């Protein structure tokens, strides 16, 4: 019976040690989760700050365009006022001698020139208004499209997004290697008038990357292209293992 009691005590001690180890593992796991969440929050705040900067830039450009339009409008009004003044003088002098008649012709010439200048200024205002409207629409559309695409990448593919500069982004994938789920695979894509795959790490087959890039610029679906790249990384990871 004493032997049975000793064995029971030993099993109890083993269970206590196992419980203490499990408690330490749970604390480490909670710490790791907190670290990842904090890092994710910092990345999200960085993305929001970047978009806010873009919005501020658009507002600044809008104000500059508005100032330009106001200046052109003032110039046009000044030219109109100048024309009215000269025409008024012409009316008071039209009954005078030949010298005044000659002056009348000169004023008519000036009037025609001023009208041409008014037309030119009016056309400049119209062109700048059209350019500003088109530019604003394109910038807002691009911002909305980029934001939606980036949200989809993070939500549905679990990829971490890192801003390289104003138009280049790094998409970082994990969970591709069974033996090392934390190993990172990265692709850098430049977004502008067209998409350009600048680099991959580890390096993928150049022909495969060129095909993905050509297809992306054809269908313009970033999510689809990233899925294809992730598949290529997965094949590479499988081959390594």
Ranges of each domain in the chain: 50-145, 158-241
Q: Under DSSP, is residue 66 helix (H, G, I), strand (E, B) or coil? A: helix
Contacts of 227 (CB under 8 A, 6+ apart): 157
- Can you tell me the distance from the alpha carbon of 33 to that of 52, in angstroms, rounded to the nearest whole number? 29
**Residue 199: which of 208, 189, 213, 207 has the closest Cα?**
189
Question: Is the preceding omega at residue 147 within 30 degrees of 0, hence cis?
Answer: no
% residues pLDDT > 70 (the chain) = 87
Under a CB-based contact definition with an 8 Å cutoff, are residues 183 and 174 in contact? yes
**pLDDT at res. 147:** 62
pTM given for the model: 0.42
Residue 69 pLDDT > 50:
yes
Residue 139 pLDDT > 50:
no
CA–chain centroid gap for 109, Å, is: 52
**pLDDT at res. 61:** 82
**pLDDT tens readout for residues 176-229:** 888 888 899 999 999 888 999 999 999 999 999 999 999 999 998 888 999 999
**pLDDT at res. 47:** 78
* In this structure, CATH architecture of domain 158-241: 2-Layer Sandwich (3.30)
Instruction: Kindly state the DSSP code that residue 205 receives in the 8-state scheme.
Output: P
**pLDDT tens readout for residues 225-238:** 999 999 999 999 99
**pLDDT at res. 204:** 94
Residue 118 pLDDT > 60:
yes
Rounded (5°) CA angle 7-12-18 = 125
Angle between helices 98-157 and 2-93 in degrees, nearest 10: 170
């Amino acid at each position: 019976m004493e032997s049975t009691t000793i064995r029971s005590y030993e099993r109890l001690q083993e269970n206590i040690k196992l419980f203490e180890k499990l408690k330490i593992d749970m604390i480490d796991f909670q710490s790791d989760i907190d670290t990842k969440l904090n890092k994710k929050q910092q990345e999200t705040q960085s993305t929001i700050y970047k978009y806010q900067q873009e919005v501020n830039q658009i507002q600044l450009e809008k104000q500059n365009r508005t100032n330009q339009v106001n200046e052109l409008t003032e110039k046009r009004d000044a030219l109109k006022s100048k024309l009215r003044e000269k025409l008024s003088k012409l009316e008071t002098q039209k009954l005078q001698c030949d010298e005044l008649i000659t002056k009348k012709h000169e004023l008519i010439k000036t009037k025609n020139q001023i009208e041409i200048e008014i037309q030119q200024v009016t056309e400049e205002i119209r062109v700048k208004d059209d350019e500003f409207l088109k530019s604003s629409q394109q910038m807002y559309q691009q911002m909305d499209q980029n934001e939606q695409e980036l949200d989809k990448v993070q939500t549905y593919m679990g990829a971490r997004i890192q801003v390289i500069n104003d138009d280049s982004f790094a998409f970082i994938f994990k969970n591709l290697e069974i033996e090392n789920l934390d190993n990172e695979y990265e692709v850098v894509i430049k977004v502008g008038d067209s998409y350009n795959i600048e680099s991959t790490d580890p390096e993928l087959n150049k022909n495969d990357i060129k095909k993905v890039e050509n297809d992306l610029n054809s269908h313009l679906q970033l999510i689809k292209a990233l899925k294809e790249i992730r598949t290529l990384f997965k094949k590479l990871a499988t081959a390594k293992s």
